[in-house]
Amino acid sequence: MIEAARRTWRVIEPYHGMIYFAPEAAAAYRQLGLGGRAGYFASRSAALGAVPAPVVVATFYNFNPVLVRESIAAAWSATDPAAVLVARYAAADQALRSVLGDAVGSDGMRRAAALLREAAESIDGDVTGRPLFAAHAALPWPSEPHLVLWHAQTLLREYRGDAHVAALLTAGLNGIEALVTHAASGAVPAGTLRTSRSWSEEEWNRAVDGLRERDWLTAEADPAFTPAGAARRAELERVTDENSTAPYAHIGESACAELQELVRPFSRALAGKFMPWVLARQ
């Protein structure tokens, strides 16, 4: 079941993830006075309320705290969480309609939304140690199927994300070290991870050196995992998967396979429009 759960999450993730790249979202946040990265941090943390920046640092984990503090201070001096949540869902609605067209009202969309909502609602009470999931799970469900599907995947994304943060912490990796190991896995280039999370080259190199000293990484200029590091990273991913499987196990492997088939065309269309690098990695 673990493999089916991971595969289902990966297939559906672009359906949610497009909100971080769609121009409709950036435009909606700008109308609230949120420029730069403030829209991202405010929109994803708004379900928590106007919490202090350290709470966002803790839950987002791998971003430079300086960037988070600046972004949150700018956000809540310009607007409030309720307005940001309204803008986020309106932007999701607009972006999904612009790419998927009539498919937003299709039988396939309604079926996918019902299945994924059932999965997400099965873990409503599983909030211990999962602050971002808990905050989003407390939000009201939208009524239209394409937004039900988007909200359900938001919940499952944050459910998995909270589990991943717990695994990183248990593995002894701080935020930037987690990014360095992600780069070493080959999934995303190191430069992309470093700059998108606003870490300097000096900070990145210090993290690399520290991981070399702890036998996570090799000594090459472009470091890879040592055997010990590869084993630790694999264990970290195993623990994350294991602690994220419950909602998919609830609906079963057959429903997971159906979900993948139903949502794959939606995810591919959204990735092609907003995240072409996702398709390039498939």
d(CA 73, CA 50): 10
| pLDDT tens-digit readout, 139-150 | 999 999 999 999
Q: Which amino acid is at 62?
A: N
- Cβ–Cβ under 8 Å, residues 155 and 124: no
| Residue 234: inside a domain | no
| Residue 216: inside a domain | no
| Residue 99: inside a domain | yes
Averages of pLDDT over runs of 10 residues in the chain (282 residues) are 93 96 96 94 96 95 94 96 97 97 97 98 95 97 98 98 96 95 88 92 96 94 92 95 97 97 97 81 57
- pLDDT of 276 reads 86
3-class state of residue 241 by DSSP: helix
| Residue 223: inside a domain | no
| Residue 205: inside a domain | no
| pLDDT tens-digit readout, 201-258 | 999 999 999 999 999 999 987 889 999 999 999 999 999 999 999 999 999 999 999 9
Its domain, for residue 262, covers 2-169+239-281
Domains: count for the chain = 1
| Residue 9: inside a domain | yes
| Residue 256: inside a domain | yes
| Residue 260: inside a domain | yes
Angle at 184 between CA 219 and CA 17, to 5 degrees: 160
- pLDDT of 281 reads 60
Q: Is pTM beyond 0.85 here? A: yes
